[in-house]
Amino acid sequence: LFWALVYSYCGVCACIAGLRLLWSIGRRPGETFRWVVRENPPACLNDPSLGTHCYVRIKDSGLRFHYVAAGERGKPLMLLLHGFPEFWYSWRHQLREFKSEYRVVALDLRGYGETDAPPHKENYKLDCLIADIKDILESLGYNKCVLIGHDWGGMIAWLVAICYPEMVTKLIVVNFPHPSVFTEYILRHPSQLIKSGYYFFFQMPWFPEFMFTLNDFKVLKSLFTSQATGIGRKGCRLTAEDIEAYLYVFSQPGALTGPINHYRTIFSCLPLQHHEVIMPTLLLWGERDAFMEVEMAEITRIYVKNHFRLTILSEASHWLQQDQPDIVNKLIWTFLKEETKRKRE
């Protein structure tokens, strides 16, 4: 019954996407299939104020990971995990902000950007993604870190904190609830099921990637800029160069398959068991999130068996750390210093 529901909803999402495709072809046939591969990265991706581009190869998997690091070596590690469809650049404001006291590392997750992308979807199961973070931490010469994740990176951050609590001193998650809250809530609330329709759409081979390329990646641009899903009018809107940075990464041939493969194995991992988080945790949430209902944020509290702080920003979108960077950075500083003071007392 579970898989019947999954694939039924997958079929519904495919039909809707097919209708949109036909509508686009009917309106602008010449523009629909235009796909421009950006040959050169925009200057913002090589901005020295953001840090240094580095690579590390993991022994067990053999994969090479790309990351951008700011701050002196030897300082406490702050590891940043991005969401979909993003890459290390979504943490640009945090790289600049926290490098004064931390070794800040913004990672390209498995399959994203310049990180290696295994071809088979089985290589993107949650246990592989969790192991990546553990192995990267060790390869960087650390045994613990402040772990921050947004969206899908938030899902991974929760699971790393659950599976390897000794490696996470403090957990900060942006716009993603505890995984158990998410799986329980989505089954009981049709509105969230609809908002998470892309999880089901992504189960199909090749078609989701194809839909993203239409009209020169119109869907990708719209995610960050439209009134429905983008950064709100009171937020820090992306510049034309920021948008080009995303288009440069995701317009490369095959660049979308790895990121979407993250979702193609998720249903084989459900239902997730209830797990407790034992380290101090900060959950930040943009109330105008078009993909996640805010009610899940408060429910998350029951799974954190330590100090838990929840802050909901009423005018912020799903892209919170890019939308309200100054407020987000201030809230993170307050949480980090508050916990340090709490330990001393």
Query: Which amino acids are annotated catalytic?
Result: 151, 263, 318
Smallest Cα–Cα separation from 283: which of 264, 269, 304, 260?
A: 304
Q: Name the region of 177 (left: φ>0; alpha: ψ -120 to 50; beta: rest).
A: beta
| Strand partners of residue 55 | 66
Are residues 158 and 173 in contact, defined by beta-carbon separation less than 8 angstroms? yes
Q: Give the integer Cα–Cα distance in Å for 82 and 102.
A: 18
Compute how many other C-beta atoms are within 10 angstroms of the C-beta atom of residue 38: 16
Cα 183 to Cα 122, 197, 249, 273, 282: the distances in Å are 21, 14, 31, 10, 20
Q: Are 289 and 315 in contact (CB under 8 A)?
A: no
Q: CA 245 to CA 221: how far, in whole Å?
A: 11
The Cα 213–Cα 232 span in angstroms is 24
Best CA proximity match to 41, nearest among 98, 94, 97, 88:
88
What is the rounded distance in angstroms from the CA atom of residue 4 to the CA atom of residue 343?
Answer: 50
Q: Supply the DSSP string of 134-193, one letter for each residue.
A: HHHHHHTT-S-EEEEEETHHHHHHHHHHHH-GGGEEEEEEES---HHHHHHHHHH-HHHH
